[in-house]
Amino acid sequence: MNAAKRLEIFRRFHEDNPEPKTELAYSSPFELLIAVILSAQSTDVGVNKATAKLFPIANTPAAIHALGVEGLSQYIKTIGLYNSKAKNVIETCRLLVELHGGEVPQTREALEALPGVGRKTANVVLNTAFRQLTMAVDTHIFRVSNRTGIAPGKNVVEVEKQLMKFVPKPYLLDSHHWLILHGRYVCQARKPRCGSCRIEDLCEYKEKTSDD
């Protein structure tokens, strides 16, 4: 895909949604971190239902740590893999209190040292909470990047590097959100909704669907 096509794709994304936001509900970097940890292999809707009950009771590292694994599990048991997630969150909260003064660190290295936090989660937090130029590649972004031709790659790290290189700089900060939303609601896994797609004429996918 050439630079002119990419520029027009992101210009249209920006035109349609000038200030894209994550669909996870949060009011602080810490709440976002916990929500993203919980969202692995789960839906944002499901996570939001759980955190809507949890965060009014405990929304700081010290407060959640005080719940313990069993206490936290009661709030998140509707989420997939909640047992392992509860253990990771409790340990993460302990480390945040002991090593970071209860604050969420603002470097990828420090974030990835926390249990349950991988590269994607770290990138989400850095980009969304701290507005750093990072690219969190999930299944939606990986699919959209390869299917459209925006930034093909064999694995998520490769796609991440390609996107960081090729997304036009004026649009890079918010591009993660646009690509996720596009993959979630338009360029879906089983059958892309090409008839409803704003970038159908620019997309290089060969097997476009005729209806929406």
- 120, 161, 169, 206: the catalytic one is 120
**Is 197 among the annotated ligand-binding positions?**
yes
174 labelled catalytic:
no
- Catalytic pick among 138, 161, 169, 174: 138
Question: Is 93 known as a binding-site position?
Answer: no
Phi, psi of 11 (to 5 degrees): -65, -40
Q: Identity (one letter) of the amino acid at 82?
A: Y
* 77 belongs to the catalytic site: no
Residues of each annotated binding site: 187, 194, 197, 203
- Catalytic positions, please? 120, 138
Residues of each annotated binding site for [4Fe-4S] cluster: 187, 194, 197, 203
